[in-house]
Amino acid sequence: MERIYFDNAATTSLDPAVLEAMLPYMTEKFGNPSSIYSYGRESRLGIENARKSVAKILNAHPGEIFFTSGGTEASNTAINAAIRDLGCKHIISSPIEHHATLHTVEHLHHEGVKLSYVKLLPNGHVDLENLRELLAGSKERSLVTLMHANNEIGNLLDIHAVGTLCKEFDAIFHSDTVQTVGHYPFDLRNTPVHFITGAGHKFHGPKGVGMLYINENVRITPFIQGGSQERNMRAGTENLYGIIGFAKALEMATAQHEEHSKHINDVRMYMAEQLQQHIPGVDFNGDLKGRSLYTVLNVSFPKTEKTEMILFNMDINGICASGGSACTSGANAGSHVIQAINNNPNQIAVRFSFSKQNTKEEVDKVIAKLKEII
């Protein structure tokens, strides 16, 4: 059976050119980067060249880029460091963050750190006026942790506006940019943010590798204790071929950004049109035609006996999509994001998310199947 993969916000396929760049570091260039002999020096050079490449693309200094096991570790490191090392005693976040952020701030709240959630506008965007009120009313230094693009509904945060607000109130700003690194250009030297995160598998790189940007004016201590890897910031032998793959995937995504982003958005908007034409009663969650991630389409179907089984029925027809955040897609607890912005018991939400490999022909096939299923 032909499979149609419309869950690229969960993970993307590894690009063959990325695998090709990784292979030498999985075979002959296998040295431990901490070793001083030639094998180790070769590996170390590969990592440092990858760091320089990532820094150049993000317009950061190489010394501000740290490689991690993924977005979750990167966000955990930043949020914990803001409390432990940077004097933040109040966290301001939103109820629609990824669980890597939500569970971290809830854990710190249980340990006595004050936690506030910023209000959301009806379209799911953060209410910046309410953010200003929370910052102005805080007697202690605040950490603001807000994601750049929501992984379920695709809403994009005005990262510069939030960063400027944080600067005004001497707050630390961490943004989970896992859905946008590799999908949008960054200029970190001119962006008022202290920490951002990335994950290789969101832009056709390998799983199990990510990055944390730490602004050069910020001094923090390691989250993981052990050896002196990553300039004493992240202990543990480096994921050598993962780091090589991360940099290669980011280079390719950046070089092809204009062409691929237009293609992906065309596929997404075509699917939105086709759904409206052929499936009665569909609606969209988030700010579809406004500030929105070009890879994500979150659809609400009217709740019926047939749509309650929609994900299962799509799966048996070879269509891969998600009912919420894919990191917990095995658990049928519903989506905390949809509950926060559109808690309508008469609707079933499905996230379709697209990559450079998807086509309008695939959309047509999915629409035809949905007509049969529903």
Instruction: Tell me how far apart the alpha carbons of residues 143 and 296 are, in angstroms, rounded to a whole number.
Output: 28
C-alpha 12/C-alpha 6 separation (Å) is 10
Look up 166 and say whether it is catalytic: no
- The Cα–Cα gap between 119 and 94 comes to 7
Report how far residue 56's alpha carbon sits from residue 46's, in angstroms, rounded to the nearest whole number.
15
Residue among 88, 166, 320, 327 flagged as catalytic? 327
CA 354 – CA 325 distance, rounded (Å): 15
- Cα separations in angstroms, 96 against 66, 126, 147, 154: 26, 10, 9, 11
Neighbouring CB atoms inside 10 A of 111's CB total 8
**CA diameter of the chain:** 67
| Residues in contact with 316: Cβ distance below 8 Å, sequence separation at least 6, in sequence order | none
Give the E-state strand segments of the chain in sequence order. Answer: 4-5, 65-68, 90-93, 114-117, 142-145, 172-175, 195-199, 210-214, 283-285, 296-302, 319-320, 347-353
Decide if 10 contacts 320 (C-beta within 8 A): no
Residues 352 and 6: beta-carbon distance below 8 Å: yes
Catalytic residues: 327
